[in-house]
Amino acid sequence: DNLMVRGVKDAEINDPDTDYIDGLILGRSKRITEVKSIIKRVAEPEVTVLLRGESGTGKELAAQALFRCSKRRNKPFVKVMCAAIPEGLLESELFGYEKGAFTGAHRNKPGKFEFANGGIIFLDEIGDVPQSLQVKLLQVLQDGEFSKIGGKEVKVDVRVIAATNKNLERGVASGTFREDLFYRLNVVGITMPSLRDRREDIPVLTEAFLRKYYNLYNKIYSSLSNETMEKFMAHNWPGNVRELENVVKRIIVLGSEKVDIGGQAAQVSITDTAHIEKKTENKDADTTVKPCSLREIAKEAVQKAEEEAIRKALIACRWNKRKAAEFLSISYKTLFYKMRQYNLLE
C-alpha cells in the first residue's frame, strides 16, 4: 500500500502538466496552490472558464495553462483583448465579414472565432464587450454558431475562456451585462489572488524575475538587499505581479541602488555598473550568461525560497523537527525529505 501511495505521489511530482503550470504560475502559497489545482482539474473537461482578478494577477498565464493542459493543446490559441478594440470594429474582429458587407469590404475576412476553430479563444476583458455584441457571444456559447457581417452563418468548435477585472454581478444588476451570458461564461470561475494576499510568494517571484532579466540583459546576477526585500514584503502592490516584475526590471536596467516602490526609495544591493559585463562573443569566457528556460528559473527560485523557509523554521523551533513541521504545515516525513534534499540534516 505504501508503495502504491508513493507511486501516485511520484506520478504527481513528475506529471508534465503540473510541471508546466508550476513553471508558468510561480508560487507555493495556499491561495496560488489552490488556483493551480483548479486549473489542472478543469483543463480537460470542455467547460467555459471565467478568470477573475485584479489587473496584473496573471489571468492570461492561467488561460495559457488551461490551454496547455487541455485536449486542444495542439490546436489554435487565439487571444482577443476586447477593451483594446474600438466598439465599432469589435464585431468584425470577432466574427468576420463577407465581401461587400459594407463599403471597403473588398474580400471575405474571417474573424477570431474562425481562426480559433478546433482550439481555444481567450476573451480578455470580457466585461468591456458592448451590449450589442453580448447576444452574439451568447449564441456562440449556446450553439457554436454565429452570423458574419453580411449574413453568412458559420459553425465553429471553439472552447471559450474569458477574463475580467470587473465585477460582472454588478454589471448584471445595473443592466450593462447580460445575466444569461454571465452564467454561460461562469460555468467554472477561477479568481486569481492579488499579490498582497499571497505575500509569501514575493521572494520566489522576485528571485525568478531577477534571474530572468539579468540573463535577458546579459548582466551579472546580484541579489537584493534585506532592506529592499523588507520593503517588497510590506508594499501592497496595487499592480500585483506585473508591478513587481516591472520594479525588478527597472532595478536591473538602471543598475541603480535606489528604486521607487510606492513612493518609497528602496535600497538595492546591485553590483557596481562598472563591474557589470555584457556577454562577449568568446564562448569560453567565464562571464558568458548561459541561456535557460523560465521553467528552470522558476524551479531554482522555488527551491531557494523553500530551503530558506525550512532553515528559518528550524532555527525558530531550535531544530525540533516535529515543531518545525507543524510550523510549516507539512508532515514530519516531508520535512525530513526536504532537509535531506537541502543538506540540512545534523
pLDDT at position 327: 77
pLDDT at 319: 84
Quick: pLDDT tens for 2-11: 443 444 344 4
Task: Give the closest residue to 97 by CA, choosing from 105, 89, 86, 88.
Answer: 105
- For the entire predicted model, the pTM comes to 0.73
Asked if residues 111 and 68 have their Cβ atoms less than 8 Å apart, the reply is: no
- Give me the helix-helix angle, 240-254 and 202-216, nearest 10°: 40
Q: In what order do the strands lie in the sheet with 188-191?
A: 77-81, 120-124, 159-164, 49-52, 188-191
Task: Label the pairing between strands 188-191 and 49-52.
Answer: parallel
Look up the CATH number of domain 2-193: 3.40.50.300
Nearest Cα to Cα of residue 247 among 256, 77, 316: 256
The confidence score (pLDDT) of residue 260 equals: 62
Tell me the domain boundaries of the chain: 2-193, 196-291, 293-346
Burial category of 271 from C-beta neighbours within 10 Å (exposed 0-12, middle 13-18, buried 19 and up) = middle
> Cα separations (Å) of 241 from 56, 211, 238, 266?
6, 16, 9, 18
Alpha helices in the chain (DSSP H): 2-13, 16-24, 30-42, 59-68, 87-95, 112-115, 131-143, 168-174, 179-185, 202-216, 226-234, 240-254, 294-316, 321-328, 332-341
User: Is 53 within 8 Å of 165 (Cβ atoms)?
Assistant: yes
Residue 260 bridge partners (DSSP): 265
Per-residue pLDDT tens for 232-242? 999 999 999 99
pLDDT at res. 140: 95
- The pLDDT value recorded for residue 293 is 61
Assigned CATH for 293-346: 1.10.10.60
Q: Among 267, 346, 275, which residue's Cα sits nearest to residue 311?
A: 346
Level-2 CATH architecture, domain 196-291: Orthogonal Bundle (1.10)
Q: What's residue 256's pLDDT?
A: 59
Which stretches of the chain score pLDDT less than 70?
1-15, 100-101, 103, 105-106, 256-299, 346
